Amino acid sequence: MKIFIVGLGLIGASYAEGLTRSGHTVYAYNRSADVIQMAEDEGIIQKKSQIDQMVFADLIILALYPKHNIEFIEKYKHLLKPGQLITDVSGTKVWMMNELERILPLGVYYTSTHPMAGKEISGYKAKDYRIFKQANYIIIKGQRSGSNDETILRRIANDLHFGKITVVDAQTHDELIAFTSQLTHVLAVSLMHADTFKETKEATGDSFRDLTRIAKINEVMWSELFLENKQALIDKINHFKDELDHVKHLIESSDKEALQTYLKIAKEKRKTFDVH
Ligand SMILES: NC(=O)c1ccc[n+]([C@@H]2O[C@H](COP(=O)([O-])OP(=O)(O)OC[C@H]3O[C@@H](n4cnc5c(N)ncnc54)[C@H](OP(=O)(O)O)[C@@H]3O)[C@@H](O)[C@H]2O)c1
């Protein structure tokens, strides 16, 4: 398949590498030209990648931050043609999908996707196509989805070696992601801020390090994603505060039996996540 990737950051470049290795013909656009040059030299995209190649693509993958995806389509929509499929890999959907559905030319199909894999570091040099292996992949259908989109995107997911594929709508995606991805990043950075000891670094074991790994955050990207999904994230933070209050109450009241039951239920639930 002819694929055009917009943005060769961590995710876009990892896609380019993985899809080229799977035999696809991949072209790309990136704001900084030196990145395109590196990608061509490393053979993860075709030589002479230029924006005009987009018109020949069967599939266009937007791999910029949500608001930059919208700006890109606004600027280059004249290079799209009916029958092409557009997808994106962004971490939030409702707002961005509404905007893209509004501005995309007629006849162009659009179905969103979210690769549930990444790293704490960003940019082209952080690329690694192996991060997608067995990772979850979410397909988000919208008003501009075509009848064939899911089949094509499942093929792409398989070529990148993703594991489980789930299909949801944009609202469900944003609520799920507010919990599984955004709340966890909020907790990791809050834990770092809650640290008041000067000896913490010397006193940490695996638990603190595991829980705060994602505090090494890309602050530009995540602040955008948090604000684009504000209400869903606030709801999850409030729900989590209630849960913290509950466990605090169990400890305050020295209710050992209830505390053990509470811990055991969490343990049993977490164990089920390891079963594929
Ligand atoms: N990182 C993750 O863990 C992860 C996981 C799943 C999905 N995602 C999604 O993937 C998308 C890309 O994230 P990423 O982690 O790959 O980001 P990244 O490594 O920081 O790359 C950002 C990309 O956007 C370009 N860019 C930055 N500012 C721009 C601007 N003002 N105008 C045009 N282009 C600009 C960069 O170009 P230059 O090379 O010129 O700087 C680069 O190509 C996001 O929508 C994110 O939600 C990320």
- The Å distance, Cα 23 to ligand 1 centre, comes to 24
Number of domains making up the chain? 2
pLDDT at 270: 96
- Where helices occur in the chain by DSSP H, the ranges are 10-21, 33-41, 66-76, 94-103, 149-159, 170-177, 184-194, 200-203, 206-212, 219-228, 230-252, 256-272
Q: Let me know whether 40 and 159 are in one domain.
A: yes
Q: Which domain CATH number covers 156?
A: 3.40.50.720
| Confidence at residue 49, expressed as pLDDT on a 0 to 100 scale | 83
Question: Is residue 183 a contact partner of residue 233, using CB atoms and an 8 Å limit?
Answer: yes
Query: What predicted TM-score, i.e. pTM, was given to this entire model?
Result: 0.94
Residues 149 and 26 in one domain: yes
- pLDDT tens, position by position, 155-168: 999 999 999 999 99
Q: What three-state secondary structure class fits 120?
A: coil
| Mutational pocket test of ligand 1: of 87, 221, 225, the residue with most ligand atoms within 8 Å of the beta carbon | 221
Task: Write down the pLDDT at residue 138.
Answer: 98
Under DSSP, the state recorded for 91 is: S
Q: Is the pLDDT score of 95 beyond 80?
A: yes
Residues 124-182 have pLDDT tens digits of 999 999 999 999 999 999 999 999 999 999 999 999 999 999 999 999 999 999 999 99
244 is in which domain, residue-wise? Answer: 174-272
Query: Which of 103, 138, 168 is the last residue in one of the domains?
Result: 168
For the chain, the helix, strand and coil percentages under 3-state DSSP, each to the nearest 5? 55, 15, 30
Judged against a pLDDT cut of 90, whether residue 120 lies above it is answered with: no
37 vs 43: CA distance, rounded Å: 10
Mean pLDDT value of segment 192-210: 95
Domain boundary among 168, 188, 217: 168
Q: Are residues 141 and 184 in the same domain?
A: no
pLDDT digits (tens, 9 = 90+) for 252-265: 999 999 999 999 99
Over residues 66-85, the pLDDT tens digits come to: 999 999 999 999 999 999 99
- Shared domain for 32 and 163, answered yes or no, is yes
Tens digit of pLDDT for each residue in 14-60? Answer: 999 999 999 999 999 999 999 999 999 999 999 988 999 999 999 99
d(CA 167, CA 214): 26
Residues 158 and 217 in one domain: no
Q: Are residues 202 and 75 in the same domain?
A: no
Same domain, 69 and 87: yes
Whether residue 43 is found in the same domain as residue 67: yes
Ligand 1 pocket test: pick from 32, 64, 89, 160 the residue with the most ligand atoms within 8 Å of its Cβ.
64
Q: List all residues whose CB is within 6 A of at least one atom of ligand 1.
A: 7-12, 30-32, 35, 63-66, 68, 89-91, 115, 118-119, 122-124, 218, 221, 225
Among residues 143, 168, 193, the one where a domain terminates is 168
Report, in angstroms and rounded to the nearest whole number, the Rg of the chain calculated over CA atoms.
Answer: 21
pLDDT attached to residue 275: 79
Say whether both 201 and 86 belong to one domain. Answer: no
Residues 186-193 have a mean pLDDT of 98
Verify that 99 and 126 share a domain, yes or no. yes
Instruction: Give the distance from CA 128 to its chain's centroid.
Output: 15
